[in-house]
Amino acid sequence: SQKRVAFIGLGTMGREMARNLLKAGYAVVGHDVNAEAVSELGAEGLQPAASPAEAARGADIAITMLPDTPHVEAVIEGPDGLASAPPAGRLIVDMSTISPVAVRRLHAGLKEQGVAFVDAPVSGGPVGAKNAALSIMAGGDREAFLAAEPYFRAMGTTITHVGGTGAGQTVKLCNQLICGINLQAVCEALALGRAAGVDLEQLRKVLLGGSAASWMLDRLGPAMIGGDASAGFRIDLMLKDLRLVLEQAQALTVPLPGTALVTSQYMEAKAHGEGSNGNQALFRVYDRMTNR
């Protein structure tokens, strides 16, 4: 019989992931505090729900894709949340990037109720989400991971059980610190090349053919060079991720000087009103430093 998915959070990433679950033949019941985000997918077969609890009724699995830790806590533990009315399949998977400490707390609370919880953050951006090509890094009990795996297959291509509860978030935070520092490196190369009068589009193409090639240079380079700041992946969300990286690093006494520096630059971008812009707007920090 057709499996049923409750999907909470139909934003930049969630809407594409829900679409791919629909395309793979799952019944999807969706909820988002933004009613438009839900109605947009109605024509594609998504059934609307007024609350997380309503979405989860009769579902085999509930999946959340929300901005930050407090939103996930509200959707699980708040009024009309998933903990008060768990899906029939007793499996909740959070695919947002949130605090690993919060993940372990949520997991323990749900476990007492006989509900399994998997943290499964993703990498690949809106394009990866649209193409069902996400890298999915999952933490949790093996049995719960195996139960969630067929749903992951509809949304991603690289699907890995990286360890126990919270390990998915730790791996994602490692991913994010590389993204941040790498984007900073791309900014610095473009700032230098620009000041020296080099053609930046050609610079980018040449570098992509050699050992400096990177996802950031490839995917965000054109928007940086073209001055297109539209999101994608918002500066605000990256600042949240870098904060989570530094919190975990502090708890474990791991100095991360590169991450600390690039976090300050992201903060500079936010202070200049760029929080809602895409990550490529980090280059504007360099515009200001070089008076461009």
Query: Which residues of this chain interact with ligand NAD, rule CB under 6 A?
Result: 8-14, 31-34, 37, 65-67, 71, 74-75, 96-97, 122-123, 125-126, 232-233, 237, 241
Q: How far apart are CA 119 and CA 164, in angstroms?
A: 9
For the record, the structure tokens of 94 come out as 């959070």
**Nearer Cβ to ligand NAD, position 125 or 180?**
125
Q: How far apart are CA 286 and CA 194, in angstroms?
A: 11
Q: How far apart are CA 123 and CA 125, in angstroms?
A: 6
Task: Quickly count: other Cβ atoms within 10 Å of residue 254's Cβ.
Answer: 11
Return the amino acid letter for 113. Q
Least Å distance, CB 75 to ligand NAD, is 5
Least Å distance, CB 121 to ligand NAD, is 6
Least Å distance, CB 229 to ligand NAD, is 14
Q: Give the up-direction half-sphere exposure of residue 61: CA atoms within 13 A in the CB hemisphere.
A: 24
**Nearer Cβ to ligand NAD, position 133 or 191?**
133
Least Å distance, CB 217 to ligand NAD, is 17
Least Å distance, CB 245 to ligand NAD, is 12
**Nearer Cβ to ligand NAD, position 77 or 141?**
77
111 is catalytic: no
**Nearer Cβ to ligand NAD, position 71 or 194?**
71
**Nearer Cβ to ligand NAD, position 8 or 29?**
8
Of 23, 111, 130, 172, which residue is the catalytic one?
172
By Cβ distance, which residue is nearest to ligand NAD? 11
Which residue numbers are catalytic?
Answer: 172
